[in-house]
Structure 1
Amino acid sequence: MARSGAEDIDRLRRDIDRALADKLDAERVLPLLARLARATAPGSEPWLYAHRHLAEMGVEHDPWRAALFARRVLQFHEEDDGAWAVLGLAQSLLGNYRYAARAYERALAIAPDNPWYAHNLGHLYDVALNRPQDALPLLAQATEAQTGEADIAASYAHALARCGKLVLAKKILKRAIRHGATADQMALWRWLDAGAPTTGESGPDPQRPADSKRKTKRRRARERQSLGD
């Protein structure tokens, strides 16, 4: 597609903004973003906007392609924490855990107060890279910042148990899932209740890395299970 005029680009940008505001499915928004990316000059603001959203919205469906879009953004803006975080999530989904950790380290260095970056990096350290001690301060930071997020608390509890802090791990998890838990969180609770036995593995994975957008992430539907005292 040839580079479009300013009016066409502005109109397309408004269409995309409206689609995002209306929370349309990615299948309907991604083609608009691709058109905007093709219609604008590399490195321009609308080009970067298109590539950021292409990476974020497409990461679960096609993590390899999302990583490509994120790297294109980083070619022009190395300090874009969101692009580093999406790259980290994409590499996590592709199984490239060391690469993913390096990407999240960059994201967290740029935005050190972001609890999702801290959580995802800590979760990678604990479950994927067998570094639970390194995970603890990151997961503690994320849990303190997002006290209502059971997913984050579950990751923290998992790392605590692996570091021998079983009593605190059970306390953290029980408080987090008192109103309901996912199947993964209940499996984690049973593992903790059994004394967090070591079987050559790290124990049940409480969850996969979270969606790495700056402020929000999708919430899983919770299975309404409760713990006895």
Structure 2
Amino acid sequence: MGRSGAEDIDRLRRDIDRALADKLDADRVLPLLARLARATSPGSEPWLYAHRHLAEMGVEHDPWRAALFARRVLQFHEEDDGAWAVLGLAQSLLGNYRYAARAYERALAIVPENPWYAHNLGHLYDVALNRPHDALPLLAQATEAQTGEADIAASYAHALARCGKLVLAKKILKRAIRHGATADQMALWRWLDAGAPTTGESGPDPQRPADSKRKAKRRRARERQSLGD
């Protein structure tokens, strides 16, 4: 790569860093990232940087494309937990729940202490894959690590109730929503208060699919923040 090319890449990288720091909208940052990806060699540090952010920033808009970007990162850096997590989130949004769970399992194996990976995997086990008993230790871990997160506590309460631990489920949820609750969390409370009746369904999902993109965006940022990225 010539000197002018390297300087252009450095300048583009600075522009992207500034745009991310200023929290510009994705539609203003994604074209810059695409330019950086095209201008750099596959597997190089700036190429990986561009593809990571293309996956992370684009997942709620185009999860299929975000999954492609994440897989490209993993071809060169198989231990990139963030790429595995974005792949898991993208596959969740696409409805490929077993694939999503495998991706989150890989992310959590790399960073076992990450509560957001534990929560997302536990929630998949409980609601999408009908494995509430497998979900419990993951959701307990996430709840203990993020005591102020009502979303996480609601997922834990849901799985507890499905495992027959209704009293503890109500205690966990009541404590989490004492300062206010979303409509989904109130629906979950009413279900618990009615004895968590089974009707062939798993019960009310504390994070309905209609909310998944909003929650996904917030949770993705927290996943990265918890790693100091």
TM-score over 0.5 for the alignment? yes
TM-score (norm 1): 0.91
SS in 1 for 2:78: coil
SS in 2 for 1:225: helix
Q: Report the CA distance shift for 1:223/1:95 in structure 2 as closer, same or farther (over 3 A).
A: closer
Structure 2, unpaired ranges of 5+ = none
Q: Is the 8 A contact 1:51 1:69 kept in 2?
A: yes
Distance 2:90 2:158 in 1: 23
Q: Tell me the CA shift for residue 95 of structure 1.
A: 0.2
SS in 2 for 1:154: helix
Distance 2:154 2:109 in 1: 24
Q: Report the CA distance shift for 1:220/1:92 in structure 2 as closer, same or farther (over 3 A).
A: closer
Distance 1:214 1:51 in 2: 22
CA deviation profile, 1:31-58 (whole Å, cap 9, x unmatched): 0000000010000000000000000000
Identity of aligned residues (%): 97
Distance 1:163 1:216 in 2: 26
TM-score (norm 2): 0.91
Q: Report the CA distance shift for 1:34/1:210 in structure 2 as closer, same or farther (over 3 A).
A: farther
Q: Tell me the CA shift for residue 218 of structure 1.
A: 1.9
Q: Is the 8 A contact 1:4 1:40 kept in 2?
A: no
Distance 2:228 2:40 in 1: 58
Q: Report the CA distance shift for 1:130/1:219 in structure 2 as closer, same or farther (over 3 A).
A: closer
Distance 1:130 1:110 in 2: 25
Structure 1, unpaired ranges of 5+ = none
1:65 aligns with 2:61: no
Mapping for residues 1-229 of structure 1, pairs under 5 Å: 5-207=5-207, 218=218
Q: Report the CA distance shift for 1:221/1:57 in structure 2 as closer, same or farther (over 3 A).
A: closer
Question: Greater helix percent: which structure?
Answer: 2
CA deviation profile, 1:155-197 (whole Å, cap 9, x unmatched): 0000000000000000000100111111111110111011100
Distance 1:110 1:87 in 2: 14
Q: Tell me the CA shift for residue 202 of structure 1.
A: 0.2
Provide the aligned length of Structure 1 versus Structure 2. Answer: 229
Q: Tell me the CA shift for residue 213 of structure 1.
A: 14
| RMSD over aligned Cα atoms | 6.6
Q: Tell me the CA shift for residue 214 of structure 1.
A: 17
